[in-house]
Structure 1
Amino acid sequence: MAKKSINILIFSSIWSFIIGILTALYLNLVNYIVDFIWGYFNHNTNFSLRPAYPFLICIPFGIIIGFSVKKLGSYPLTIEEVLHDVRKNGKLDYHSWWKSFTLGLLSLGAGGSIGPEASTTVLTSGMINWLGDKIRLISTHSQSWVHFWQIHIDKDVLLKSLKFSDLFRSKNHKKWFITFNILIGLIGTILIFKLFPEEGAFGIHERPIHWSWTILWFSLIPVIGGIIFAYFFLYLEKIFTRVETLALPVLLKATL
Structure 2
Amino acid sequence: VPITPFFGFFSAKYAGVTCEELMYDYDKLGVVERKTILDFQPDMYVNPYTYALLGPLMEALDYKELKWPGHGVSPTSSYQFVEGEYMKADEYDAFLFDPSDWILRTYLPRTCGALEPLQQLFPFRQFHYYMATLGRFSVFGLPEVATAIESLLKAGREALKMVSAAASFDKEMKGLGFPPQFAPSTHAPFDALGDALRGTRGIMLDMYRQPDKLLEACEKLTPVMIEMGVSGAKRAGVPRVFIPLHKGPEGFMSLKQFKTFYW
Structure possessing the higher relative contact order (Cα contacts under 8 Å, 6 or more residues apart): 1
- Determine if the TM-score, normalized by the shorter chain, exceeds 0.5: no
TM normalised by structure 1 equals 0.30
Give the structure with the larger helix fraction. 1
Larger Rg: 1
